[in-house]
A = this chain, B = another copy of it.
Amino acid sequence: MELYQELSLQARDLRFQHLTSITARNNNIIIRMEALKAVVTPNSLLVLDFRGLGLERWLVLELAPQLNGDHGAMATHSLPFEFRALEAILQHRVNTLQARLNEVHPVILDILESLVDPKLLSADRSKLHILLQNSKNLSELETDIKVFKDSLLKILDEEEMIEELCVTKWTDPRVFEESSLGIDHAEEMELLLENYFMQAEELGNTTRELKGLIDDSESVIFINLDSHRNVMMRLNLQLTMGTFSLSLFGLMGVAFGMNLESTFEEDPKVFWLVTGFMFLGSGLIWRRLLSFLGRHLEPTVPPQIPTVWKRNQINSKGAEMKSGLR
């Protein structure tokens, strides 16, 4: 309550309804970035409800120096306080998103690399489970990046809102004049927001590429599995052909094995004749079947097919394009 008074805000200004939002109210900037809720006044930064969120480390180790402008490389250290505060929070948000991507990225690459391994006959199914989990995380990350980008874009699209975010300009004319030597506050604010927008855009691009890679890899996995299956099926078919040949000529042996009189019983040559015929016949039939299979698997009219792509055409097109300019 006192807080409201002090900041001359109203209760509904601090409702933090949306997971990600940046708004200016009465020369305060009210920010929510998922777990992090903060109010930026012209000379202080209030972080609300920070307990139990793992933010303590960041608050102590990183935020303080950034706000003091100690962080040498900081781009905004000569600008008023609200710039430093806003930058610290946006940086924190981008870092969080980047950290989530860094967590998911190598895991997905590792799993995909092991799944597309052409030596594998079957996909390791526990890895598929982990892939599914990570690709779900990736979708959520994509949504969060999109929401973050949208909330920045909403401000960037309205000049007015950018102006409102430069709170020092309206509250502390002295500091304003001092700091604004040759610098337009609104323009600096736009650059600041745009910078983080583009960082989020790059994160989004990486996420999208990763999703595309998962899709492409899945196609390759399918082709791999299908290829393995076809190879095995051909082997199986070749053996089935062999078994069939053996059965066919084995039938002859079975016939002679019957306890029925065939009149050949006493002729010693007949044994060798029939046995030889059985083995040779099996072999010949098998060979014929195999060569039949070989012919069958080839397409009916292969040689007349022209090549699908005439590369020359494309190269010349590119060349024409390049030379067109000079």
Could you list which residues of chain A lie within 8 angstroms of chain B, going by C-beta atoms?
Answer: 12, 15-19, 71, 73-75, 91, 94-95, 98, 101-102, 105-106, 109, 112-113, 116, 118-119, 121-126, 128-133, 135-136, 139-140, 143, 146-147, 195, 198-199, 202, 205-206, 208-209, 212-213, 216-237, 239-244, 246-251, 253-268, 270-272, 274-275, 278-279, 282, 289, 293, 296-302, 305-309, 311, 314-315, 317-318, 321-322, 324-326
Number of copies: 5
Residues B234 and A234 in contact, CB atoms below 8 Å apart: no
Q: Which residue of B lies closest to A91 (CB)?
A: B325
Q: Which residue of B lies closest to A273 (CB)?
A: B260
Please judge, given known A-B contacts A125-B118, A325-B195, whether A102 and B318 are in contact too, CB under 8 Å.
yes
CA distance A60 to B164 in the complex (A): 43
A231 in complex: contacting residue of B109, B121, B235, CB < 8 Å: B121
Known: A239-B289, A250-B254. 14 other contacts (CB 8 A): A74-B326, A101-B318, A118-B299, A132-B217, A133-B306, A136-B308, A139-B213, A206-B314, A206-B318, A226-B226, A242-B244, A250-B250, A257-B259, A258-B271
Q: Which 3 A-B pairs have the closest CB atoms?
A: A118-B125, A73-B326, A122-B227
CA distance A229 to B228 in the complex (A): 11
